[in-house]
Homo-oligomer: A and B are copies of this chain.
Amino acid sequence: MPAFPAPGPLNGIRVLDLTRILAGPFCSMVLADLGADVVKVEEPSGDQSRKTGPFAETDSGARYSTYFMSVNRGKRSIVIDLKHPEGRSVFLNLADTADVVLENFRPGVMDRLGVGYDVLKVRNPRVIMASVSGFGQTGPLASRAALDVIVQAMGGILSITGEPGGGPVRPGVSMGDITAALFTSIAVLAAVVERDRSGEGQRVDVSMLDCQAAILENPLMRYFALGEMPERLGTRHPVVNPVQAFRTADGYVAISASDGPAGHWGALCRAIERPGLLDDHRFDTSWGRTQHLDEMVPVIAEAMAGRTTTEWVSRLAEAGVPVGPVQDVAQVAADPQLRSRHMFAELEHPAVGPVTFVNTPIKMSRTQGGPRSVQPELGEHTDDVLGDLGLSAADIAALRRQGAVA
């Protein structure tokens, strides 16, 4: 597993990326880590997440958004005013060289700007245009804005996350955006695979809300098939038990012992010195234990409270029971397994100094990708990208004077 990136499997694939904030940029970050040439097309005011705090400040007082930094590494930035006729023309020429155009405007904006799929495909039939939006390009809510918490709320995950009897809780990261980003990455790559065979691009339409339904697959299946309404369960798994976190003497530990007396379940009962659990045959199967949680959980909880997290992790791992500590972010950052897999990659930012990025979790034997450069300054690569398109320095200067690019 090499620590530093090779060209990556998507070397040679060009993505023209009009997206802002999170769902789109997370998608193009995944593609950039895999080696795609991601050209981030920003409006003159820039991706608004450049202004989202908290900020890393430099000695000279410049402020860099950590939010923007985290998901825009490995991309090039060009500023184009799509409302300017010459800006639009530059964009269309760039789109002729693209494999993928990615956008997350509200539905209809690309068409109104004169850069919709109908225009792009006539000029470049091989182009794939992918849209990621809150509710998708169709349906009664298509024109409404949605953001992460809205789709997590409407998609049901808030209703099944939280303490028993408590209120809804939002998973601590923007799963509404991130899930859509991952599905859009899959969609784009599947369309490239197909395009490489058929010669034709197509339009891809991913809705953040649809993606929330997709990850709710199992609760929805139980509802449709059996009418079951899932509840908030703290850390517990709904149908496989014991699979949950328990409080220890100094923190929390997660365990998973979902098989029978001859397996993890038996090993757990012995390791926590509660062999009586094994004598109770209602507890022989995970399904049986799920029916008798009130009798089982307190016995395990009482035992777990008696030792520290470190003691339990080592004792249960020794006994062969799947186990892990509930780690805070500082512990994640120091985790030896993640470190050994090069999951934290340091790059030098010219103003901020060293910046640590979370590496790609996609490990490949022959074309390992990863973060290749820090986040771009606004318009940092305008000259480079337009130069590659064959424009002279004088042409570029003229476009800049007109306000078409910056």
Contacts and interface: CB of A to CB of B under 8 A. Distances in A.
Contacts of A325: 153-154
Given A174-B237, A187-B362, A213-B361, 7 more contacts: A117-B365, A154-B254, A156-B329, A156-B332, A171-B175, A194-B367, A202-B367
A305 interface: no
Contacts of A139: 336-337, 340-341
Contacts of A15: none
A300 interface: no
Interface string A207-228: 1011101111111111111101
Nearest to A201: B366
A20 interface: no
Interface in A92-128: 117
Interface in A130-151: 134-141, 144-151
Given A170-B245, A333-B220, A341-B136, A54 B228 contact: yes
A221 B154 contact: no
A206 interface: yes
Given A156-B327, A163-B163, A363-B136, A196 B194 contact: no
A288 to B, nearest CB: 10
B217 A154 contact: no
A158 interface: yes
Contact of A154 (B53, B183, B204, B332): B332
Taking chain A's interface residues, is the majority helix, strand, or loop, or is none over half, making it mixed? mixed
6 contacts: A66-B221, A144-B317, A161-B161, A161-B172, A172-B233, A213-B358
B357 A221 contact: yes
A326 B356 CA distance: 36
Contacts of A210: 338, 341, 343, 361, 363
Nearest to A366: B202
Contacts of A235: 149, 153, 158, 167-170
Contacts of A174: 218, 237
Contacts of A197: 12
A26 B183 CA distance: 12
A347 to B, nearest CB: 11
A222 B54 contact: yes
